[in-house]
Structure 1
């Protein structure tokens, strides 16, 4: 897959730099996979807030940062999955399955809605934006584990609305500028906003919360037995 565009390439020759304008098609790898660690860090910070100032107005996205977010998210979920009572994990999917289903289905649903709304956004741009929004999930779950060991729902919901809400709001603001009709803006943005937050709530209670059994809340404390069904 290729994308139309232009770029400025600096070619050093005999201690001189020549600016060569290259017009043509930008390959998928150059567009979404070639990114520096510095750019990934800037985009992670930018993904945690709406594009309201210069630092957060970074529109270019890649797929390397989202892939790292997926790997770290699966790792932290397996930590919670391992320390929960084995009886609390019998009726739920493995963390890797839940995360992979979300990162496949949610961008596809969002892209279908965007196409129905005639939004001018590419699928991989939408997938990259939603992928960077997963860093809010990582921060929320890690802070809840480090500070309250996932036992304080009040602290979790505070982080949920602070980090998860701001990252989802950023995606919505980006989509609003590409959707022409207000009614479709409400439909697309509200769907992605709600699915983003509901997924974080599901991860918290299904995998990380030590006293919750999926499908029937429980007050039973976890045992010290290590989960061996991995």
Structure 2
């Protein structure tokens, strides 16, 4: 068995003609059917046809986007690419607009300016009436707006209370908007003006610190007006004006002195603040109600006098006069 197998394995291979019994093993390529299989050329044509169909569908959906691409000389940019670019531009503009809107609408941005404990507010109210002698080093100024904002609203309430306790006759409402405009106008307007002067004289203070400093300075105004609206003595007002108003003003002046260099800049900045702050208290006590009365008279007009019947003398004609008239 082993000899036979070795003889079989060692036999030389024959040709195709010998194994097939004389049959032809030549493949006739010319007689093959072209539809029997798909070549690479056929696949390329099919792929090109599909791409053309997709481009026609996109042109029908996209409208005139393809015309713009041909006009610019970029035939490959069709309607879908144009829509994608327009969508990206729209989304980018929308994100920028929403980011700018959220900058003012997001409450987290304003939270640090109002994150303060009531104990800190109470201590800062007391400190606003105590001047500090140290002016060689910059004094610390609180950078929060909760206390100043509450003081401005308190001043508005005191003004409305003074209008009720005084002789001011208000027939239709109390004109709360006028009080709010006066108090907030002074706080924001004078703070902006003082900050502008501080910028000119190179004082080391920010706008937030200016708002906080001037807002806490209104504590003396609230104390003076609340007392004098209930106790009507001019001597008491002048005494409290010099005491409470002067102490609060002096506190702000020392804070600005510690952050300003030079005699002339200090005189300009501190003198302007002192005059504005003290004169505002005089205005609220003496002239505010007169201006409100004049405004009410101009808006509502003088009070109408009710109509009354007046007796009139009717001449009585005698009989002779009547006869003469008839004849």
Q: Which TM-score applies when normalising by structure 2?
A: 0.50
Matches within 5 A, 1:70-81: 70-81=152-163
Instruction: Identify if the C-alpha distance between structure 1 residues 51 and 61 changes in structure 2 by more than 3 Å, giving closer, same or farther.
Output: farther
Tell me how far 1:85 sits from its aligned partner.
4.0
Structure with a larger share of its residues in helix: 2
Tell me the distance in 2 between the aligned counterparts of 1:206 and 1:100: 18
- What residue is the counterpart of 1:162 in the other structure? 243
Tell me the distance in 1 between the aligned counterparts of 2:180 and 2:142: 27
Tell me the distance in 2 between the aligned counterparts of 1:202 and 1:178: 29
Gaps in structure 2 of 5+ consecutive residues = 1-108, 293-327
Tell me the distance in 1 between the aligned counterparts of 2:233 and 2:229: 10
Tell me how far 1:181 sits from its aligned partner.
1.6
> In the alignment, does 2:175 pair up with 1:115?
no
CA contact (8 A) 2:142 2:212 kept: no
Residue in structure 2 matching 1:153, options 226, 234, 240:
234
Tell me the distance in 1 between the aligned counterparts of 2:288 and 2:235: 17
Tell me the distance in 1 between the aligned counterparts of 2:110 and 2:259: 22
> In the alignment, does 2:188 pair up with 1:104?
yes
Residue in structure 2 matching 1:82, options 125, 139, 164:
164
Residue in structure 1 matching 2:273, options 192, 197, 213:
192
Tell me the distance in 2 between the aligned counterparts of 1:109 and 1:88: 34
Structure with a larger share of its residues in strand: 1
Residue in structure 1 matching 2:151, options 69, 72, 75:
69
Post-superposition Cα deviations, 1:122-177, rounded to whole Å, max 9, x if no partner, equal: 1110110100010100011112134x2xx311111111111111111111111111
Provide the secondary structure at the position in 2 that maps to 1:94: helix
> In the alignment, does 2:134 pair up with 1:50?
no
CA contact (8 A) 2:141 2:209 kept: no
The alignment yields a C-alpha RMSD, in angstroms, of 2.6
Q: Which TM-score applies when normalising by structure 1?
A: 0.70
Matches within 5 A, 1:172-211: 172-207=253-288
Tell me the distance in 2 between the aligned counterparts of 1:67 and 1:73: 10
Tell me the distance in 2 between the aligned counterparts of 1:130 and 1:73: 13
Matches within 5 A, 1:1-20: none
